[in-house]
């Protein structure tokens, strides 16, 4: 057994973001004898992870963090009670079995990157890998700055033999780049490199981590590679059935993450392309999705026509895939995947133009309410929201006001995202055309149209408020294609979800 003498006592996760934080918390929860420390250069973020208000909202996350981070202090009873209550309701909250009854804290958050790296047996690199904005490959290639920075820190500070795990989504063959950096800084020292891409979705991160469809572990076909992979597999095996842990090659593992995201996004673009045909013909895309999805070979997931995919991953991962294909001399492959992105843009454009034409082709003097900014429900992540593209097109028509309300995205996060729309006009000054409201009711008051752009449950059953003034627009749906609803009337103000607390 090649794994026999690889013991992992201390895991360091570099990057306390949407992936690093929840992944480390779940790993710590299920491996009470392993110390898991999440490090980040962002002190505000680390302080939030240490405090009562976590920096990200994920159903069930607060209970997991509380159990692993705080252990069995006096607050244990309350934490266990809540976790157990959540579990019985069938939520994503973990069942807090008796094994946790006297646990010591084993999840830590810190800005002391060098020191933590130096003490680690295994390091998960879970830093951001956005699209490059400038220079060679701008708009498509992956910006590897954060990965390089993290790997340099590992190269400088880690003990020989420390296992380095790529959790970030990276282009195929990044493992080679990592090995080159390690070799340049520490010639002749061995650091096994693994790839362990993360497949969680925001909004269901804890459920996805607790019950993953699979855990992919990519390694080099060498004895140290297999031993390192076995050590990581052992950590996962504390809660994931062995049959779901898939050991594969390093390059396959890196590429399979891009392939998975590309294929999920492709389904969304495929059904959206059909929705455009529905709009012209009178066919109903939801009936089509249902019938098509009943085919066992196709399946029903990711077949909902809408505003298209958003969030920080799908677009940038497909862009990365197209860039990779092109750099490998495969322009046909690049063009194939590029079309998935084009269809996504087309859908938003189509929707925004539909709104404008429903309002007699002019938005001058009109107020448009936007309910929901997050790219999907149950997350406060405002990055790459479809709403941004819709708002961009609406603003070209000089509306009096675009009033946005989202129950979880902070005004600061929405404003940061919208900044790309500012040219010479300050959009978000107090009397500017973009306003971020603190309730749905405020956003909808006196509006000419209400657009529901995130599928938050609280907007699902929105009904006109009796006696309220009708708005101009008389369109309920996008001609059966329903990428998002256009409601007729202001809504009752509903209670937003409680902010995350530990």
Catalytic sites, residue numbers: 313
- Burial (CB < 10 A; 0-12, 13-18, 19+), residue 77, is exposed
What is 248-261 written as a DSSP string? EEHHHHHHHHHHHH
Task: Determine if 41 is a binding residue for ligand NAD (CB under 6 A).
Answer: yes
The radius of gyration computed from the CA coordinates of the chain, to the nearest angstrom, equals 24
* CA 90 – CA 352 distance, rounded (Å): 38
**With binding defined as CB under 6 A, does residue 37 bind ligand NAD?**
no
How does 268-277 read in b/e, with b if 16+ C-beta sit within 10 Å?
bbbbbebbbe
Choose, by CB under 6 A, the member of 6, 12, 13, 14 that binds ligand NAD: 14
17 binds ligand NAD (CB under 6 A): yes
HSE value, Cβ hemisphere, 13 Å, CA-based, for 167: 27
- Which among 125-133, 188-196, 236-244, 490-498 is the span making contact with ligand NAD, rule CB under 6 A? 125-133
> Please, which residue, 408 or 473, has the CB nearer to ligand NAD?
408
Task: Kindly state the DSSP code that residue 407 receives in the 8-state scheme.
Answer: S
- Footprint of ligand NAD on residues 56-115 (CB under 6 A)? 113
Rounded Cα–Cα distance for residues 25 and 54 (Å): 12
**Could you say which of 34, 127, 262, 321 contacts ligand NAD (CB under 6 A)?**
127
Q: Tell me the site size for ligand NAD, rule CB under 6 A.
A: 28
128 binds ligand NAD (CB under 6 A): yes
CA-wise closest residue to 484 among 318, 373, 359, 364: 373
Q: Does 198 bind ligand NAD (CB under 6 A)?
A: yes
Q: Are 253 and 216 in contact (CB under 8 A)?
A: yes
Asked whether position 39 contacts ligand NAD by CB under 6 A, the answer is yes
Q: Would you say 68 or 209 has its CB closer to ligand NAD?
A: 209
Compare residues 27 and 127 and give the one whose CB is closer to ligand NAD.
127
Tokens 């978000």 label which residue? 428
The number of beta carbons lying within 10 Å of the beta carbon of residue 443 is: 26
Candidates 19, 62, 141, 443; binder of ligand NAD (CB under 6 A) is: 19
- From candidates 31, 168, 196, 485, binder to ligand NAD by CB under 6 A: 168
Give least dist CB 302 to ligand NAD, A. Answer: 15
Q: Is 15 in the site for ligand NAD (CB under 6 A)?
A: yes
129 binds ligand NAD (CB under 6 A): yes
CB 142 within 8 A of CB 316: yes
- Binding residues for ligand NAD, rule: CB under 6 A, are 14-20, 39-42, 45, 113, 126-129, 146, 149-150, 153, 168-169, 198, 200, 202, 312-313
């Amino acid at each position: 057994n090649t794994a026999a003498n690889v013991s992992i006592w201390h895991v360091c996760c570099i990057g306390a973001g949407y992936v690093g934080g929840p992944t480390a918390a779940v790993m710590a929860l299920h491996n009470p004898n392993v110390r898991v420390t999440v490090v980040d250069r962002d002190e505000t973020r680390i302080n939030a992870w240490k405090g009562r208000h976590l920096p990200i909202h994920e159903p069930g996350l607060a209970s997991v963090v509380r159990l692993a981070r705080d252990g069995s202090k006096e607050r244990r009873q309350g934490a266990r009670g809540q976790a157990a209550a959540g579990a019985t309701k069938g939520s994503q909250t973990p069942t807090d079995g008796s094994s946790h009854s006297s646990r010591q804290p084993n999840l830590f958050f810190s800005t002391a990157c060098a020191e933590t790296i130096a003490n680690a047996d295994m390091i998960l690199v879970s830093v951001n890998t956005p699209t490059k904005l400038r220079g060679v490959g701008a708009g498509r290639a992956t910006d590897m700055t954060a990965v390089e920075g993290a790997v340099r820190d590992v190269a400088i500070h880690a003990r020989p033999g420390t296992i380095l795990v790529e959790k970030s989504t990276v282009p195929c063959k990044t493992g080679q780049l990592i090995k080159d950096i390690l070799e340049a800084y520490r010639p002749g020292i061995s650091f096994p490199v693994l790839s362990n891409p993360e497949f969680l979705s925001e909004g269901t991160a804890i459920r996805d981590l607790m019950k993953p469809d699979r855990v992919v572990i990519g390694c080099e076909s060498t004895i140290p590679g297999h031993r390192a992979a076995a050590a990581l597999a052992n950590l996962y095996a504390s809660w994931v059935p062995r049959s779901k842990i898939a050991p594969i090659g390093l390059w396959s593992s890196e590429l399979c993450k891009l392939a998975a995201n590309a294929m999920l996004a492709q389904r969304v673009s495929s059904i959206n392309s059909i929705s455009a045909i529905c709009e012209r013909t009178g066919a109903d895309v939801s009936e089509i999705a249902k019938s098509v999805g009943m085919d066992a070979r196709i399946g029903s997931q990711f077949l909902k026509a809408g505003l298209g995919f958003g969030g920080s991953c799908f677009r940038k991962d497909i862009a990365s895939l197209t860039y990779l294909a092109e750099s490998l001399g495969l322009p046909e492959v690049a063009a194939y995947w590029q079309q998935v992105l084009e269809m996504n843009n087309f859908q938003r454009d189509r929707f925004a133009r539909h709104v404008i034409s429903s309002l007699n082709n002019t938005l001058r003097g009109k107020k448009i309410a936007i309910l929901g900014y997050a790219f999907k429900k149950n997350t406060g992540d405002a990055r790459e929201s479809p709403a941004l593209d819709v708002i961009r097109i609406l603003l070209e028509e000089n509306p009096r006001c675009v009033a946005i309300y989202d129950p979880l995205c902070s005004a600061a996060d929405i404003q940061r995202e919208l900044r790309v729309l500012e040219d010479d006009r300050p959009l978000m000054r107090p009397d500017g055309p973009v306003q971020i409201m603190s309730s749905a009711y405020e956003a909808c008051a006196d509006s000419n149209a209400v657009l529901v752009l995130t599928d938050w449950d609280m907007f699902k059953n929105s009904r006109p408020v009796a006696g309220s003034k009708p708005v101009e627009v008389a369109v309920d749906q996008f001609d059966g294609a329903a990428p998002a609803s256009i409601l007729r009337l202001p809504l009752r103000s509903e209670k937003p979800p409680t902010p995350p607390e530990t």
